[in-house]
A and B are shown apart, each in its own frame.
Chain A
Amino acid sequence: MTEIFGIPIQALMGQLTIGLVNGCFYAMLSLGLAVIFGMLNVVNFAHGALYMVGAFFSWMLLNYAGVNYWFALILAPIGVAIVGVIIEKTMLRWLYQLDHLYGLLLTFGLALIIEGIFRHNYGSSGQPYELPDVFRGAFDLGFMFLPKYRAWVVVMSIVVCLATWYLIEKTKLGAYLRAGTENPKLVQAFGINVPLMVTLTYAFGVGLAGLAGVMAAPVYLVNPTMGSGIIIVVFAVVVIGGMGSILGSIVTGLALGLIEGLTKVVYPEASSTVVFIIMAIVLLIRPAGLFGREK
């Protein structure tokens, strides 16, 4: 058995892939948070809860309606996006003139409501989501076994993240979006429907969270508290990376997932706190975050 620093390479690689999978979810969630924050100036505390809703939607589709994973991959994020449209249209929209803190407080309340409703109906124990047959088994890479589903999650989420980056940085729609972030009044004067754009941005951001939820469903047990657990880590990721750059949040998310996985092998006691420790160090050295542009 090959070893690195006295750690069996199999265990190391296993934890690193788990870390990478976690990192993918961090990246997708912090990306959505950054997109929403850029346009709405709202830190969406409900992001974790909506990620959980995405996972539950796919679980419900499979168990109540017999809709398989592939359709859930499309339907559940759309469902979450519709919830997002309702939230934005009925509540968030009244807060744009106020201090940013109110947006955080409102979405915190929403997160409590959503989590509470699911806990009321499903209890706090997890529901297993059955893996589609295609993903059973693992690839033998010679030095390690890579479970097929984990490989899929990594590839898929990187594709989604890069597509989002392309959409925002390289397309005309993205240009409107960036212009709207800088100066909404001027963009509106050019005849672009900014309020609609804001609604769609929020829907898109939470849709990403919903998609992450669907992808997470077979990896973790689907349970009501999965959202609140991840959102605080994602906040730390956002503080480390800064919300100014899209590629920055993707890279930071993936890197922190890997570091977390590595810590699980080297010093397991610190695996739940390592992200926060890194955040503290980054605050000391680069207070604006690694890729941050402080407004």
Chain B
Amino acid sequence: MSRTAILYVVLLAMACIAPFVGYPLFLMKCLCFALFACAFNLLVGFTGLLSFGHAMFFGFAAYACAHSAKVWGWTPEVAILFGTLSAGLMGLVVGWLAVRRQGIYFAMVTLALSQMVYFICVQAPFTYAEDGIQGVPRGKLLGVIDLKDDMVMYYFVLAIFAAAFALIYRVIHSPFGQVLKSIRENEPRALSLGYDVDKYKLVAFVLSAALAGLAGATKSLSLGLATLTDVTWQMSGEVVLMTLLGGMGTILGPVVGASAIIAMGNYLSGFGSWVTIIMGATFVVCVLLFRRGIVGEIEHRLGKKKSP
């Protein structure tokens, strides 16, 4: 077995033991946000597109999933699928508009469109405005396995995460992923080599949006609620921070970053408005001094030792 394969097996084993050591609810939240950050990283780290509105996919899928599970009484797997698909569809529309502009404008367009989605969610009847959709039933998986128990739910979430992570890993290492990387490195060159750059960007965008939706849908089921917080620009900023802190363009970075930010949010919840200030300061420090992120820095150090 190669070194990376061993690393992933060890990590998976740790994730399986984790709920016996820590709180399953906290771990589920970590996994959902880790998936969200991984989906975001697929775009920013491997395609070079900074979307500043990813919360719209995360939050809208959370609403879609929660509504279909609670009001229509769908089983969890169908509800999650519905949330994922609706986010993917939204990603298709948003991406189709946003890939028309490059670089900094892309970030502004996605931010503006996500704000529009936020205002729609504020007004739409099915989101229950400030209250959000509360008490979402977890239901029975495939109509058989009851997910009410946190431990069972945890393994369900872990399975979803592992599958999505494997998919992202596969995409990054596929020929398609190589084209995405070439777009990140040098877009005019990729264009001149005959690749339809906009189409590749759009596919990457839809994929990333759908996976962000999967994360949001899973979150709404495991925590039992979907609220406006999930659609705000602050949430979009948070996922950027998770990825930046963990390491943009590294495969495990977003997982590390997301866990760190969620843990930080948990421990600092008593400090109220200080959380925003600390988040902002983390941003500033990361951008100024720590652009490789945690995992990026480790990889860099290890790489140095290997090739002197």
Chain A residues with CB under 8 Å of chain B are 37, 43, 91, 94-95, 98, 100-102, 104-106, 108-117, 119-120, 228, 232-233, 235-236, 238-239, 269, 272-273, 275-277, 279-280, 283-284, 287-288, 294
Q: Say if the beta carbon of B107 comes within 8 Å of chain A.
A: yes
For B240-280 the 0/1 string (1 means CB < 8 A from A) is 10001000000000000000000000000000111111011
A273 contact from B97, B116, B237, B291, Cβ within 8 A: B116
Closest Cβ–Cβ distance, residue B74 to chain A (whole Å): 29
- 4 closest A-B pairs by CB: A109-B283, A112-B280, A113-B280, A116-B276
In the complex, which residues of chain B have a beta carbon less than 8 angstroms from the beta carbon of A100?
Answer: 103-104
Q: Within the assembled complex, what's the spacing in Å between the Cα atoms of A283 and B102?
A: 12
The answer to whether A108 and B104 touch across the interface, beta carbons within 8 angstroms, is no
Q: Say if the beta carbon of B163 comes within 8 Å of chain A.
A: no
B123 contact from A109, A116, A269, A280, Cβ within 8 A: A269
Query: Can you name 10 A-B residue pairings with CB atoms under 8 Å?
Result: A43-B107, A94-B288, A100-B103, A101-B103, A116-B276, A272-B119, A283-B97, A284-B97, A287-B101, A288-B101
B112 contact from A37, A269, A279, Cβ within 8 A: A279
The answer to whether A111 and B108 touch across the interface, beta carbons within 8 angstroms, is no
A interface majority secondary structure: helix
Closest Cβ–Cβ distance, residue A213 to chain B (whole Å): 19
Q: Say if the beta carbon of B233 comes within 8 Å of chain A.
A: yes
In the complex, which residues of chain A have a beta carbon less than 8 angstroms from the beta carbon of B274?
Answer: 116, 120
In the complex, which residues of chain A have a beta carbon less than 8 angstroms from the beta carbon of B237?
Answer: 108, 112
In the complex, which residues of chain A have a beta carbon less than 8 angstroms from the beta carbon of B103?
Answer: 100-101
The answer to whether A91 and B276 touch across the interface, beta carbons within 8 angstroms, is no
Closest Cβ–Cβ distance, residue A83 to chain B (whole Å): 14
Q: Say if the beta carbon of B287 comes within 8 Å of chain A.
A: yes
Q: Say if the beta carbon of B68 comes within 8 Å of chain A.
A: no
Closest Cβ–Cβ distance, residue B253 to chain A (whole Å): 15
Q: Within the assembled complex, what's the spacing in Å between the Cα atoms of A275 and B119?
A: 12
Q: Say if the beta carbon of B75 comes within 8 Å of chain A.
A: no
Q: Say if the beta carbon of B8 comes within 8 Å of chain A.
A: no
Closest A residue to B93 using CB positions:
A280
The answer to whether B284 and A113 touch across the interface, beta carbons within 8 angstroms, is yes
Q: Say if the beta carbon of B120 comes within 8 Å of chain A.
A: yes
Closest Cβ–Cβ distance, residue A124 to chain B (whole Å): 9
Chain B residues with CB under 8 Å of chain A are 50, 52, 97-98, 100-105, 107-109, 111-113, 115-116, 119-120, 122-123, 233, 237, 240, 244, 272-277, 279-284, 286-288, 291
Closest A residue to B277 using CB positions:
A116
B291 contact from A102, A110, A116, A275, Cβ within 8 A: A102
The answer to whether A238 and B108 touch across the interface, beta carbons within 8 angstroms, is yes
The answer to whether A110 and B288 touch across the interface, beta carbons within 8 angstroms, is no
Closest Cβ–Cβ distance, residue B53 to chain A (whole Å): 10
In the complex, which residues of chain B have a beta carbon less than 8 angstroms from the beta carbon of A232?
Answer: 111-112, 115, 233
In the complex, which residues of chain B have a beta carbon less than 8 angstroms from the beta carbon of A272?
Answer: 119, 122
